[in-house]
């Protein structure tokens, strides 16, 4: 999905800079995670959406990113010359364009395709060919003379790698797999893979989707690629695989999709929890350096790569103040240039020490992110926050990514939030941690 996100963001910025949206009522066609990246760019430019439309009955009438999703005809009829429709779909753009034409909206400036399919232009076709060639070259470089297979984990989320680690060794054992390579998109994912005991890991940013696209294009001939993503069969392609549409259907959550569809394992196979490599003395030193009290420290985790409608800074400041007043020491888990919540200290805990650190601290409050998967085995008291309006295919964020439902942390307290209810949410959190 990474390449589609980059394309969508870049095209949206170009539309804004070129004045294509100026003075118009902007309608977003497609309520999806990809669309949230487009909305994020519009928010940065100070552009407020007029409406969000979608054909899915699962989405119409529900809130999405703070906006109620409507049917296309309810918004677009009668035709309004002041509307501009942004088409956002990595798969169904052509069908959406045909539907818009039937409603009286054809061509620019009223219709702007943020994610055009390859068939819309010679330039887009050339880009596809280039990516296929780049995928072929990268595959050959990574594999060399190895017999294979090449395991590709194309998504940048650390939570995905944590789930992969729960099943990977058993999958390799059952299938009699010998020499192989596991390709991941960044160093953070490589560290999570190493914690799970996965060997032969290589970091290959920017080309993983190209490798999978190439393997899909040649229909597996001359390649041995296994895609490790919760919407793929072990030998299927990315990102247009069919099984992604089963996500959330009748309880098919994040863990079940990996267990059954990626690895082909039944419910009797237990999780292979990663071994701890933490230095207890280093954890004690880190807490002491920041003045954090063992067993009475709350770690706040306000950041996530996937979520856009996160609780605003005022919520975290109120939560930090309320917890401090109740005798807790409070810190913020920060990585890179992330800033601590006002009134707290910033701590940067290595992934390898995170479970031990949380065991020692005692309490965790954070939005649902890959970090929650990493610390799921900790004995600390966990409160995990989910966007109540967020949808992931056939389920809500909480239904699909619930640590409790996945069996990763049966005692986690999982709460949903909406903007505007931060006072009651702070009260609930302080009550749960009392």
- The residue extents of the domains of the chain are 2-120, 137-262, 280-433
Which positions of the chain have pLDDT values less than 70? 1-3, 116-124, 232-241, 306-309
Place of tokens 């409406």: 51
- Name, in order, each residue with C-beta under 8 angstroms of 79's C-beta and a sequence gap of 6 or more: 103, 104, 105
Cis amide linkage into residue 108, ω under 30° from 0: no
Chosen CATH of 2-120 out of 3.40.605.10, 3.40.50.620, 3.40.50.720, 3.40.50.300:
3.40.50.720
What pLDDT is attached to residue 119? 53
What pLDDT is attached to residue 26? 95
What angle separates helix 33-44 from helix 2-17, to the nearest 10 degrees? 30
Q: At 382, is the secondary structure helix, strand, or coil?
A: strand
Burial of 23 (0-12, 13-18, 19+ CB in 10 A): exposed
Cis amide linkage into residue 109, ω under 30° from 0: yes
- pLDDT per position as a tens digit, 26-72: 999 999 888 988 999 999 999 999 999 999 888 899 888 878 999 99
Q: At 188, is the secondary structure helix, strand, or coil?
A: helix
What pLDDT is attached to residue 232? 59
Record: fold of 280-433:
Rossmann fold (3.40.50)
Residue pair 154/2 in contact (Cβ under 8 Å)? The answer is: yes
Burial of 375 (0-12, 13-18, 19+ CB in 10 A): buried
Strands annotated E in 54-127? 63-64, 67-70, 83-87, 111-113
What pLDDT is attached to residue 53? 96
What pLDDT is attached to residue 432? 94
CA dist 302 and 400 (Å) reads 20
- pLDDT per position as a tens digit, 348-394: 999 999 999 999 999 999 999 999 999 999 999 999 999 888 788 88
Handedness of CA 24, 32, 315, 420 (dihedral sign): positive
What pLDDT is attached to residue 245? 80
Question: Fold match between 2-120 and 280-433?
Answer: yes
| 362, two tokens | 């005692």
Q: 111: which strand partners?
A: 85
């Amino acid at each position: 999905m990474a390449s589609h996100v980059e394309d969508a963001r870049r095209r949206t910025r170009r539309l804004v800079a070129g004045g294509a949206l100026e003075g118009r009522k902007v309608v977003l066609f497609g309520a999806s995670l990809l669309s949230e990246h487009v909305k994020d760019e519009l928010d940065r430019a100070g552009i407020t959406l007029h409406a969000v439309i979608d054909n899915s009955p699962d989405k119409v009438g529900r809130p999405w990113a703070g906006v109620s999703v409507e049917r296309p005809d309810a918004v677009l009829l009668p035709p309004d010359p002041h509307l501009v429709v942004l088409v956002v779909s990595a798969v169904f753009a052509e069908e959406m364009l045909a539907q818009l034409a039937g409603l009286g909206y054809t061509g620019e400036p009223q219709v702007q395709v943020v994610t055009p399919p390859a068939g819309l232009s010679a330039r887009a076709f050339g880009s596809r060919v280039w990516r296929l060639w780049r995928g072929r070259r990268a595959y050959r470089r990574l594999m060399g003379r190895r017999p294979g297979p090449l395991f590709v984990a194309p998504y940048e989320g650390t939570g995905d790698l944590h789930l992969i680690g729960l099943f990977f060794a058993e999958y390799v054992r059952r299938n009699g797999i010998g020499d192989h390579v596991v390709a991941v998109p960044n160093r953070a994912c490589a560290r999570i893979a190493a914690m799970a005991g996965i060997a032969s890991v290589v970091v290959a940013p920017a080309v993983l989707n190209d490798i999978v696209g190439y393997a899909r294009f040649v229909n597996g001939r001359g390649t041995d690629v296994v895609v490790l993503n919760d919407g793929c069969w072990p030998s299927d392609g990315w990102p247009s695989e069919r099984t992604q549409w089963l996500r959330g259907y009748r309880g098919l959550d994040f863990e079940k999709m990996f267990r059954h569809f990626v690895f082909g394992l039944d419910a009797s196979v237990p999780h292979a929890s990663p071994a701890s490599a933490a230095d207890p003395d280093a954890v004690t030193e880190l807490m002491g350096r920041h003045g954090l009290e063992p067993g009475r420290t709350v770690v706040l985790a306000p950041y996530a790569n996937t979520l856009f409608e996160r609780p605003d800074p005022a919520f975290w400041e109120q939560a930090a103040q309320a917890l401090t007043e109740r005798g807790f020491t409070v810190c913020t888990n920060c990585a890179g240039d992330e800033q601590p919540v006002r009134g707290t200290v910033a701590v940067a805990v290595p992934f390898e020490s995170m479970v031990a650190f949380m065991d020692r601290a005692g309490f965790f409050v954070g939005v649902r992110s890959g970090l929650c998967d990493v610390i799921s085995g900790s004995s600390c008291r966990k409160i995990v926050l989910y966007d109540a309006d967020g949808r992931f295919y056939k389920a809500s964020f909480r239904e699909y990514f619930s640590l409790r439902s996945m069996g990763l942390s049966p005692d986690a307290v999982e709460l949903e939030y909406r903007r505007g209810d931060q006072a009651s949410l702070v009260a609930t959190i302080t009550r749960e941690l009392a």
